[in-house]
Amino acid sequence: MTRKQVVHSGLILVALATFAMAFKGIFARLVYQEGVEVNALLVWRFILAVPLFWFGGMFMLRGRDRSRLTWKQWYLCAFTGFLFFISAWCDFHAIEALGASISRMVLYLFPAILILIEALELRQMPTIRQLLIFTGAWIGIGMIVLPDWQGGELDAVGLAYGLGAALSYAIFWRMSQPIMNAIGSVRFNQVTNSFTLAAMAIFLVPTLEPAQLVLTPVAFGWMSLLVIFSTVVPFFILFEGISRSNSVEAGVVAMFGPVVTVVVALAVFPDEALSLVQWAGIIVVLVSVGVLKLIKARPAPVITGTAGPVRT
253-287 confidence digits (pLDDT tens) = 666 677 777 778 877 887 777 778 878 887 887 77
Helix H or strand E encompassing 309: strand 308-311
86 vs 24, higher pLDDT? 86
What is the pTM (predicted TM-score) of this model?
0.76
Contact 226, 45 (CB under 8 A): yes
The answer, yes or no, to whether residue 1 has pLDDT greater than 80, is no
* Predicted local distance difference test score (pLDDT) of residue 68: 86
* Predicted local distance difference test score (pLDDT) of residue 304: 38
The answer, yes or no, to whether residue 309 has pLDDT greater than 50, is no
Q: What is the pLDDT of residues 203-260, one digit of tens each?
A: 999 999 999 999 999 999 999 999 999 989 888 787 677 767 766 666 666 666 777 7
Helix H or strand E encompassing 308: strand 308-311
In sequence order, what are the residues at sequence separation of 6 or more whose Cβ sits closer than 8 angstroms to the Cβ of residue 154?
A: 145, 146
Backbone angles phi, psi at 305, to 5 degrees: -130, -170
193 vs 120, higher pLDDT? 193
In sequence order, what are the residues at sequence separation of 6 or more whose Cβ sits closer than 8 angstroms to the Cβ of residue 257?
A: 18, 19, 21, 22, 104, 108
Average pLDDT, the chain: 80
* Predicted local distance difference test score (pLDDT) of residue 297: 43
What is the average per-residue pLDDT within 44-50?
95
d(CA 224, CA 231): 10
The answer, yes or no, to whether residue 57 has pLDDT greater than 90, is no
Q: What is the pLDDT of residues 118-167, one digit of tens each?
A: 888 888 877 777 777 778 877 877 777 665 544 445 577 888 999 999 99
What is the average per-residue pLDDT within 190-205?
95
% of residues, the chain, pLDDT over 90: 33
pLDDT band at 44 (very low <50, low <70, confident <90, very high): very high
The answer, yes or no, to whether residue 293 has pLDDT greater than 60, is no
